[in-house]
Every structure is written in C-alpha cells, then in structure tokens.
Copies of this chain bind each other. A is one copy, B any other.
C-alpha cells in the first residue's frame, strides 16, 4: 500500500467546489474518477480542506492510499490524461503512511485578487473581484496589519460553520498593487470557513471608505457580537499553497 500526496491546480469556475456533493460536479469527484480509471480501485481522496464553488487553486493538496504499484511520480501524468483541462495534477509523490492532506497540514497560503476598471474585465471575469474605483491602499494595509497575528476570528466566518475553536494565527497578510491590479496574500496556521473572503471583503470596504478601520478592531476584540457579514466573491480567491513541513513555513 502506497500513500500518495498530490498538488493540484484548478480553475473552480465550472465546479460546485472541492467537495463531492449530490448536486453538481466537484473537483474531488473528478479526481476520484480519474484515480479509479488509473488504478482500477475505488480510492478515497482527502483534500487539505474544501474550496467553494468558483474558488481556484494553484496548490491544493490531497492524499490517497492505493495498492497500485505505479511509481508515485507517475500518477500526475497518468491522472492528467483522465482529467478535464481545468483540473491539473502538478505533482505526485510518496508520503509516509500516516500522512493525511487535512490533518497533517501546518498552514495555508491564499491570495485574493482584485481588478479595478469602471467597465470590469472580460479576461479576468472569473479570476478577480471587479471593483469600479481604486481603493485607498494605505488603509487596506492598515487593516491587514490589524488582522495579522493570533485572534479569535469568529466574526469572520460563515454563519453556518460549527467549528468550536475559532482562534487562528495569520503569520503574514500583505498587499501587492499595481494599477489596475491588487492582490492580498494571507499566510496562516488555518482559516475558518469563508474567512479569507470575509476578511478580504472587510479590507476592501475599509479601502473604499465604506467601513472604518475601527470596525475591524471591534470584530477582533468582540468576535461573538452580531455583525453584518460581507463575503467577497469567490472568483477572486486562490488557494496557493498548503504547508506540511516546518521548514517551508514563512519566516518574517
């Protein structure tokens, strides 16, 4: 029995998200089908976590166990011949038997992309949140500095999420901008359901002058209060990397 770890890139536009669901086609289902085609087995694919409909990945990770004797690094090209062009396995390698894409993860990196033009963008329609006016980037940076560190992020998670421990550490949150593009990157030890999209929405609201910076501090200091929750659209979000090795973790 081999345990295989894989890195997957996908365009989430055409999918109901990572996770297998009764209605809609998921990335996980496409990978499971490809693995059955390659190995002849019924294989369970464990992702590092789910991504929502329309959310993309440059570096989603997943793991599976197989009796197949195909060399670990040959799974990537074999799977790609059975996958649609909007899903691509970038790398497969052997992992230790106790490796699990979700439980072994030490952290993740996400980026949230924005594009600013009064008329939007045809080329980036599925890969960025389209803003009509340029936000105040200094205010956005102040908001990102405020959320960096260890906080109870309960005010920045979807209402239907039932995780008990809502304390997470964001190691680094930064803004890259060059007109007409903006990109917010987040690196942290874990993210609650919809947390990156809710943080991004708040940071953008601050940048557009529609929310005071203090509103972010209040949400971090009083996470359990009842706030109006804004969620940035899914197409701007990319799961860039899942960290498994301590030496990969960002140093500051």
Contacts and interface: CB of A to CB of B under 8 A. Distances in A.
Interface of A: 9-11, 56, 58, 76-77, 80, 85-91, 117-123, 125, 127
Contacts of A89: 119
A158 to B, nearest CB: 25
B76 A119 contact: yes
Tell me how many chains of this kind the complex includes.
2
Nearest to A126: B85
Nearest to A58: B123
A9 B86 contact: no
A85 B122 contact: yes
Given A90-B117, A117-B90, A9 B85 contact: no
Contact of A9 (B9, B76, B80, B122): B122
Nearest to A83: B122
Nearest to A9: B122
Contact of A122 (B11, B118, B120, B125): B11
A228 to B, nearest CB: 28
B80 A119 contact: yes
Nearest to A85: B125
A86 B122 CA distance: 4
Contacts of A118: 76-77
Contacts of A125: 11, 85-86, 88
Q: What 5 A-B pairs are tightest by C-beta distance, nearest first?
A: A88-B122, A9-B122, A85-B125, A10-B122, A86-B122
A12 to B, nearest CB: 10
Among A118, A120, A122, A125, residue most surrounded by chain B Cβ atoms (within 10 Å): A122
A88 B91 CA distance: 36
A195 to B, nearest CB: 22
7 contacts: A9-B121, A80-B119, A86-B122, A87-B122, A88-B120, A88-B125, A91-B119
Contact of A123 (B11, B77, B80, B120): B11
A90 B119 contact: yes
Contacts of A11: 122-123, 125
B76 A123 contact: no
A112 B123 CA distance: 15
Contacts of A9: 121-123
Contacts of A123: 9-11, 56, 58, 127
